Amino acid sequence: DTEVTQTPKHLVMGMTNKKSLKCEQHMGHRAMYWYKQKAKKPPELMFVYSYEKLSINESVPSRFSPECPNSSLLNLHLHALQPEDSALYLCASSPTTGLLYNEQFFGPGTRLTVL
Amino acid sequence: DQQVKQNSPSLSVQEGRISILNCDYTNSMFDYFLWYKKYPAEGPTFLISISSIKDKNEDGRFTVFLNKSAKHLSLHIVPSQPGDSAVYFCAAVNNSGYALNFGKGTSLLVTP
């Protein structure tokens, strides 16, 4: 299994809702990532988990809350989002962090719309 | 501040010809470079990479060239095929090994 899966594919939520994005991989990768991609822009890193511990938080607002319950799963909990948070949210994984292993495998993304 | 730049937003090439996609970077700490391909409604797919100790890496129809002194890399696709039509992102990793710094992408169209 060489896939990163993400659910849901599409999500529409109001600014007062609480929702979660889910990401799963079964490649034995120990590093997992959340990226945000706006239209016509490159993906921007949000969070990095390494061995289920949060390694990097790129100054992401607290309305985004990541969680790594185990080495295969990565969640992104969303609460009180703003319309400008509408974007494609990409999950990725790599065997580990570190230079020689940073070929990240991406999921298809969740298209989030905040009304 | 964009540390990885792809200055051509789009490129159109005839089937069978060579496609050359260019990428420049500003951070001399970048040690590892990757190219990703992205189709609409899909996540980026890893294509090919190159370490800063090399100047060329080849994989089938895809070759990446690195010119460290010019802080420039390029992806050559030959021969180009219509299925290669996609957005190509150049990405770089610094020696902390964590984040991929992406360029803005180049949209390649290969016409029959």
Among candidates B36, B93, B102 on the partner chain, residue whose Cβ is nearest the Cβ of A99: B93
- So what's the pLDDT on residue A100? 61
Q: How far is A13 from chain B (nearest CA, A)?
A: 20
Q: Hey, what are B12's tokens?
A: 């159109």
- So what's the pLDDT on residue B2? 82
Q: How far is B107 from chain A (nearest CA, A)?
A: 10
- So what's the pLDDT on residue B98? 67
**Residue in B61, B76, B59, B60 with CA at minimum distance from that of residue B23:** B76
Average pLDDT by stretches of 10, chain A with 115 residues = 89 93 95 91 90 89 95 96 95 80 86 95
Among candidates B34, B42, B89 on the partner chain, residue whose Cβ is nearest the Cβ of A103: B34
- So what's the pLDDT on residue A59? 86
Residue B54 scores a pLDDT above 70:
yes
- pLDDT tens-place string over residues B74-106: 999 999 999 999 999 999 987 666 678 899 999
pLDDT, chain B, mean: 92
How much of chain B, in percent, has pLDDT values that exceed 70? Answer: 96
Chain A hits for B33, Cβ within 8 Å: none
Partners of B22 in beta bridges: B74
A53 touches B: beta carbon within 8 Å: no
Chain B hits for A90, Cβ within 8 Å: 43-44
Q: How far is A89 from chain B (nearest CA, A)?
A: 9
- So what's the pLDDT on residue A1? 62
**Is the CB of A106 less than 8 angstroms away from the CB of B100?**
no
Cis-peptide into A108, omega within 30 deg: no
- So what's the pLDDT on residue A58? 83
**Is the CB of A42 less than 8 angstroms away from the CB of B104?**
yes
Q: How far is A35 from chain B (nearest CA, A)?
A: 10
- So what's the pLDDT on residue A2? 66
Chain B hits for A42, Cβ within 8 Å: 4, 89, 102-105
Q: What is the 3-state secondary structure (H, E, C) of A37-104?
A: ECCCCCCEEEEEEECCEEEEECCCCCCEEEEEEECCEEEEEEECCCHHHCEEEEEEEECCCCHHHCCC
B10, closest residue in chain A (CA to CA): A40
Contact between B62 and B36 (Cβ < 8 Å): no
